[in-house]
Structure 1
Amino acid sequence: MRKLLPKFFLIYLVVFGTWFMVEREPVHACSCATTPNIEDQLNRKTAIFTGKVVSITEPAKRNLVSTADAVKVQFEVKTVWKGEVSSQTTVYTTRSSASCGYENFDVNEEFIVFAYGEPDHLETGLCEGNKTLAAAQEDLKVLGEGYEPAKITLPQKDPSDTSSDNKGTDSSFIIIIIALAAFLTLLILLAVSLKRRGKKL
């Protein structure tokens, strides 16, 4: 029986180590279906507008960094086709295309933006059909004449105020802590068991 314990311990380490490596594997890159046509965009999106990017704010630096962290993009809105969009509007996107974030926003560039979510927390991404204004001429023809943005600036929810936003990274951290606690518990039980058996022998 005493000889079996090291073998059992070795098997456990192999299984545990494999599981741990699988848990920490990177997420696969985002895959988009075909971009919806303008009619679908008008039906599904919360807001559609053109505007110039005036600032891009990266997420605050933390110990745990995720590709899903939110980047804040501030727009000076020119024309609106859908939604209650103010002249100064914030849109959020994840920091990496691996998490379907839109990485092509540049300060002082003009874009057509297709955003979803709540009016006070607009979001967009890689698969939503965003384009530079120069590349969006066909879309603009189909959309037709829009309307001016509201003069007031609506209050925006800021995801950096992390009351409930780090669920993905927090849950991964909790899983790792639980796994380490289970591993340490097994080591302690194994040591106690070997000590008791050594005394008996």
Structure 2
Amino acid sequence: MWKITSRFFLIYLVVFGTWFMFEHETVHACSCAAPPNIEDQLNLKTAIFTGKVVSLTQPVKGKLMSTADPVKVQFEVKTVWKGELSSQTTVYTAMSSESCGYEEFDVDEEFIVFAYGDPDHLETGICEGNKTIAAAQEDLKALGAGYEPAKITLHQKDSSDITSNNKEFNSSLVIAPAVFLSLLILLAITLKRRGR
């Protein structure tokens, strides 16, 4: 009886453990609902502004990378409709559109940006309604007159905080399966000795 139960338990652990190990590797494409209207954007977003992209900083390359790793986008802010922004503002977006990142930002291009999150750590993505200035004429008309950004540069969280968080998360993806595999081997050895 013990051998049947232990074998069933071992099979269960192998199946469950295999699912657990590979569950995090599944990639889901980003899916967006219809973009909200300007009134909703003004209510929902932390910041709405137009600005020119000054720099794009890609995430630090490591052994384990994710499509959700953050890209740091530095803007020279022109006009603000919501938020207390400085003339130089940073917004983060996921590296890939697979993780809802906005990949269209280009240096020296101007955009209207709809950002959410903490004022010290603004984020955006493909579902937020960002557009080039040329494509945003209807939005700009609906927003009306904005205001100028502050002339000072506000302190914003550095992407190194995010990178360190991602490294902790990525290392857990390696450690958890290794611990599970060790336990599985230990269980198999124990069951083999009892079977003698």
Same fold (TM over 0.5): yes
Q: Which has the higher contact order (CA 8 A, sep 6+)?
A: 2
CA–CA separation in structure 1 for the residues paired with 2:92 and 2:140: 23
Residue correspondence of structure 1 range 59-78 to structure 2 within 5 A:
59-78=59-78
Tell me the equivalent position of 1:186.
187
SS in 2 for 1:115: strand
Write out the 4+ residue segments of structure 1 that deviate beyond 4 Å after TM superposition.
1-10
Q: What is the CA–CA distance in structure 1 between the aligned matches of 2:47 and 2:19, rounded to whole Å? A: 42
Checking the alignment, whether the CA contact within 8 Å between 1:48 and 1:82 is kept in structure 2 is yes
Number of aligned residue pairs: give it. Answer: 195
Between the aligned partners of 1:179 and 1:58, the Cα distance in structure 2 is: 33
Asked whether the 8 Å contact 1:49–1:113 carries over to 2, the reply is yes
Q: Specify the alignment match of 1:176 in structure 2.
A: 177
Alpha carbons of structure 1 residues 4 and 108: separation in structure 2 relative to 1, 3 Å: same
Q: CA RMSD in A?
A: 2.6
TM-score normalised to the size of structure 2?
0.87
Amino acid in structure 1 at the alignment position of 2:15: V
Larger radius of gyration: 1
Greater alpha carbon shift after TM alignment, 106-115 vs 58-67: 58-67
Cα distance in 2 for partners of 1:48, 1:3 equals 65
SS at match of 1:76: strand
Equivalent position of 1:50 in the other structure: 50
Identity %: 71
- Mark the runs of 5 or more structure 1 residues left unpaired by the alignment: none
Question: What is the CA–CA distance in structure 2 between the aligned matches of 1:186 and 1:39, rounded to whole Å?
Answer: 60
Deviations 1:147-199 (A, max 9, x none): 111110111101323586226434433432332222222233134334xx1xx
**What is the aligned partner in structure 2 of residue 95 from structure 1?**
95
- Answer whether contact 1:56 1:72 (CA < 8 A) is retained: yes
* Uncovered stretches (5+) of structure 2, i.e. residues with no partner: none
TM-score (norm 1): 0.85
